[in-house]
Amino acid sequence: MTTARTSEGEELIPVYIMGKCYMVPPSLTIMKAMEWAGYKLIRGVGCRGGFCGACATAYRIQGDPKLYFGLACQTVVQPGMYLAQLPFFPARRASYDIAQLEPTPTTLFSLYPELLRCLGCGTCTKACPQEIDVRAYMAAGMRGDIAKVADLSFDCIMCGLCAARCPAEEAQYNIAILARRLYGRYLAPRSRHLQERLEEIRAGKFDEAIAELKSLSVEELKARYEARDIEPA
């Protein structure tokens, strides 16, 4: 039996997309494998760099009962992988004006009362492709610790996989971004250097330098960029 290979000699592996088997190179991500198979991706695709969370994907491996989760642009295919991309699905998002809120536990509980329904089961943590301990930040939210929620959820990319698996029907990622907004506006320490720089900008200290840069050609800008001082790693 002849093994299927790419033109470069790479042996192909079977993956199942929406129930149909395709032979694809093993070095591809899920997203690239779907495109290799002929799918034109017009939804569920965003940055392609693992930052936007648009390509949330659930998959199983043949012979393995476990349900896995990942981002299609980052997860590399495996033999016998069964894929199912998850389009956007409704998850409750509270409406609010951050400027009218107070950074208190009452704000969290009034806008997201379902926060207090958390069962602590951990399915949200298991579903997170960023390996965030979602259960831990939800526990912090139930304690009203806004700063802790903001810290633990910092790497959240809002893909929604946590909410997809939650038996208490919570939107963990929406609760987390509220906490980060409250923390950033009201609780985070203010940078004195940033404030000083903003005041200098408003005073016009850099107007002449900016005007000079805007007058340069693309080639001159590239030369300036290449010759810039770079801090050592």
Q: Which two tokens stand for residue 49?
A: 């760099």
State the Cα–Cα distance between residues 7 and 32, nearest whole angstrom.
Answer: 17
What residue spans define the domains of the chain? 13-85, 98-187
DSSP single-letter state for residue 228:
S
| Across 102-121, average pLDDT | 96
Residue 128 phi, psi dihedral angles, 5° rounding = -75, 120
State the Cα–Cα distance between residues 65 and 122, nearest whole angstrom.
Answer: 18
Is the pLDDT reported for residue 105 higher than 80? yes
State the Cα–Cα distance between residues 178 and 161, nearest whole angstrom.
Answer: 18
* pLDDT, position 84: 78
Q: What percent of the chain has pLDDT over 70?
A: 94
State the Cα–Cα distance between residues 76 and 142, nearest whole angstrom.
Answer: 36
**Candidate from 56-70, 76-90, 115-129 with smallest mean pLDDT:** 76-90
24-61 tens-digit pLDDT: 999 999 999 999 999 888 777 878 888 888 888 889 99
61-82 tens-digit pLDDT: 998 988 888 889 999 999 999 9
State the Cα–Cα distance between residues 185 and 153, nearest whole angstrom.
Answer: 16
Question: Which CATH architecture describes the domain 98-187?
Answer: Orthogonal Bundle (1.10)
In the predicted model, what is the mean pLDDT of the chain?
90
Topology classification of domain 13-85: Ubiquitin-like (UB roll) (3.10.20)
State the Cα–Cα distance between residues 231 and 87, nearest whole angstrom.
Answer: 42
Q: What percent of the chain has pLDDT over 90?
A: 67
Is the pLDDT reported for residue 139 higher than 80? yes
| Across 8-26, average pLDDT | 89
Is residue 165 within 8 A of residue 123, CB to CB? The reply is yes
* pLDDT, position 102: 97
Q: State the pLDDT confidence band at 215, using cuts at 50, 70 and 90.
A: very high
Q: State the pLDDT confidence band at 5, using cuts at 50, 70 and 90.
A: low
State the Cα–Cα distance between residues 6 and 144, nearest whole angstrom.
Answer: 55
Is the pLDDT reported for residue 150 higher than 70? yes
Is the pLDDT reported for residue 1 higher than 50? no
Handedness of CA 19, 20, 26, 27 (dihedral sign): negative
Half-sphere exposure of 156 (CA within 13 A, CB side): 30
Is the pLDDT reported for residue 129 higher than 90? no
State the Cα–Cα distance between residues 135 and 152, nearest whole angstrom.
Answer: 10
